[in-house]
């Protein structure tokens, strides 16, 4: 295995984390440093002697710094195949020495466009041109050149330089990372420019980093891993796992479902999810009461479930949690006393996390492609207030209590796989029918689960009732109000059925199918 001894390094970095120490240690190993613009100034201010890019090119920076390293004397020194005599002769004729190490990190475009207040002109100026060009040149010529694109790589490279040079394996690995970095950078630029044209982009590039390998996928015979979009701050990569086994493939999907639903409520709310569907949801004045009520919805399904709590877990709530079998708990916070109680179940995964942002595209895999859509969101209103789009179409008037429960049930239904029926009473789900092939089937399952609790309850349906039979079954069970999108050819018959059963009925004008 051959090594490339580093005699000359070109450094041009935007992120100057660890720069001075890195460059000083290179100099101590006898490496000559060429640096551009601000990098040269920073190194000189730190007491290091460097050669400026202008000294190599004989040309000053132009166009407010847009052009400084885009020069044949820079790129020839990077791209020369020094194993070819003609290349060596051309460098000699131009009085150029080859560069064995290129250290470049790019203008912070991804971080810049993540700001809500950035203007288009500011974003354009953050598009790096010279940096990616040098990175690609060095990566192409990795047979002779090492390329560093992140301060995270400094220590590894310094150890190699001190050991006599960068070996073949390291140079190849650095090149792979470099090409990925420029591809990821370009994908961020594409995404930003496409976002200026509309909500659903015409073109899309995904740049994903593997965060970790998972034990297995949905089933033990399926290899799996977790990937993250660089530059995007999701709730799960900002989460803090306090205890428990590593998160599994299914854990992540269930936690996503539980956490999004819990954070669609502003009042203290506990959510229990099983197989990506809620099987218990309740809003109360305290987290403890919310959890206890949510568990009562369907204790059989809640066994081994994933818990989402949009507040801080206290000691009484922690005692309730550990008295049951739970896979994952995710909350905004956990008190010290609650953490000690939860730690008694050492396999229980406990996470604290910020609320989900919810502004990304919802994407699902199809063979060799994706379908993508804007993420479905429920219009948030305060409890007891009728959203503007909602229309009360039945004879029975809507009380404030009914509105509170209808709003609650509607939010839960929007997070439940279609066909979905949610029976709710006093801001708690008492019956949930999820993923049924027919709306009548979903109603029957939800009512069977609710039992006597259906008397005086309300129901939300994620889609319209195409026939009156669904409403008839609800009315016969004692349901007093229903909220659904409306829009069926037989809406009049559905409303008539509601009136016959003395049920209030609300059309929302929007559906929330979830496949």
Query: In whole angstroms, what is the distance from residue 455 CA to residue 448 CA?
Result: 12
Query: In whole angstroms, what is the distance from residue 294 CA to residue 440 CA?
Result: 24
**Catalytic annotation, pick one of 71, 75, 143, 275:** 275
**Catalytic annotation, pick one of 75, 140, 143, 245:** 140
* Residues near 51 by beta carbon (within 8 Å), at least 6 away in sequence: 32, 33, 34, 35
Decide if 98 contacts 8 (C-beta within 8 A).
Answer: yes
In angstroms, how far apart are the furthest CA atoms of the chain? Answer: 97
Query: In whole angstroms, what is the distance from residue 126 CA to residue 111 CA?
Result: 10
Q: Identify the sign of the CA torsion 228, 233, 235, 240.
A: positive
Q: Identify the sign of the CA torsion 487, 493, 499, 500.
A: negative
Ramachandran angles phi, psi of 491, nearest 5°: -55, -40
Burial of 486 from C-beta contacts in 10 A (0-12 / 13-18 / 19+)? buried
Q: Residue 378 gets which letter from DSSP?
A: P
| Pairing status of strand 458-461 against strand 421-424 | antiparallel
Catalytic, 515? Answer no
Burial of 196 from C-beta contacts in 10 A (0-12 / 13-18 / 19+)? exposed
From the list 279, 103, 254, the residue with the least C-alpha distance to 178 is 103
Decide if 467 contacts 445 (C-beta within 8 A).
Answer: no
Strand partners of residue 460: 422, 483
Decide if 251 contacts 274 (C-beta within 8 A).
Answer: no
Strand partners of residue 349: 328
| Cα–chain center distance at 187 | 16
Cis? peptide before 419, omega within 30° of 0: yes
From the list 68, 65, 20, the residue with the least C-alpha distance to 45 is 20
Catalytic, 415? Answer no
Query: In whole angstroms, what is the distance from residue 55 CA to residue 40 CA?
Result: 12
Q: Residue 513 gets which letter from DSSP?
A: -
Residues across the chain: 515
CA dihedral 295, 300, 301, 307 (to 10 degrees): 30
Decide if 226 contacts 250 (C-beta within 8 A).
Answer: no
Query: In whole angstroms, what is the distance from residue 515 CA to residue 510 CA?
Result: 16
Residues labelled as active-site residues: 140, 275
């Amino acid at each position: 295995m051959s090594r490339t001894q580093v005699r000359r390094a070109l450094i041009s970095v935007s992120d100057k984390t660890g720069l001075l120490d890195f460059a000083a240690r290179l100099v101590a190993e006898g490496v000559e440093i060429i640096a551009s613009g601000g990098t040269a100034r920073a190194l000189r201010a730190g007491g290091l002697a460097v050669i400026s890019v202008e000294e190599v090119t004989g040309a000053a920076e132009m166009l407010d710094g847009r052009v400084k390293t885009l020069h044949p004397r820079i790129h020839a020194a990077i791209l020369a195949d020094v194993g070819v005599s003609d290349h060596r002769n051309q460098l000699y004729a131009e009085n150029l020495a080859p560069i064995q190490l290129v250290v470049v990190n790019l203008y912070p475009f991804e971080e810049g466009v993540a700001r809500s207040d950035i203007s288009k002109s500011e974003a354009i100026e953050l598009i790096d041109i010279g940096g990616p060009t040098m990175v690609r040149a060095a990566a192409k010529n990795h047979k002779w050149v090492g390329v560093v694109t992140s301060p995270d790589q400094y220590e590894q490279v310094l150890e190699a330089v001190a050991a006599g040079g960068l070996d073949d394996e390291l140079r190849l690995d650095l090149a792979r990372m470099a090409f990925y970095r420029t591809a990821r950078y370009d994908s961020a630029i594409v995404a930003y420019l496409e976002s200026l044209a509309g909500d659903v982009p015409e073109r899309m590039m995904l740049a994903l980093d593997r965060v970790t390998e998972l034990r297995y996928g949905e089933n033990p015979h399926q290899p799996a891993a977790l990937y993250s979009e660089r530059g995007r701050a999701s709730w799960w990569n900002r989460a803090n796992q306090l205890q428990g086994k590593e998160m599994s493939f299914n854990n992540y999907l269930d936690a996503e479902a539980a956490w999004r639903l819990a954070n669609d409520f502003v009042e203290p709310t506990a959510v229990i999810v099983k197989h990506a569907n809620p099987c218990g949801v309740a809003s109360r004045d305290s987290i403890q009461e919310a959890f206890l009520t949510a568990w009562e919805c369907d204790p059989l399904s809640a066994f081994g479930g994933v818990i989402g709590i949009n507040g801080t877990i206290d000691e009484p709530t922690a005692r309730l949690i550990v008295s049951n079998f739970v896979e994952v708990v995710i909350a905004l916070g956990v008190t010290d006393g609650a953490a000690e109680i939860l730690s008694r179940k050492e396999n229980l995964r406990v996470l604290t996390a910020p609320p989900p942002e919810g502004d990304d595209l919802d994407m699902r895999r199809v063979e060799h492609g994706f379908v993508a859509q804007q993420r479905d969101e429920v219009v948030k209103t305060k409890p007891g207030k009728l959203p503007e789009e909602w229309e009360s179409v039945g004879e029975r008037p809507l009380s404030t209590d009914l509105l509170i429960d209808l709003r609650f049930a509607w939010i839960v239904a929007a997070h439940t796989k279609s066909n979905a029926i949610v029976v709710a009473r006093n801001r708690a789900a008492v019956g949930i029918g999820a993923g049924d092939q027919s709306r009548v089937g979903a109603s029957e399952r939800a009512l069977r689960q609710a039992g006597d609790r259906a008397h005086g309850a309300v129901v939300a349906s994620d889609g319209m009732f195409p026939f009156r039979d669904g409403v008839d079954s609800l009315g016969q069970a004692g349901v007093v109000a229903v909220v659904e999108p409306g829009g069926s050819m037989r809406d009049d018959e559905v409303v008539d059925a509601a009136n016959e059963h003395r049920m209030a009925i609300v059309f929302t004008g929007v559906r929330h199918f979830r496949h």
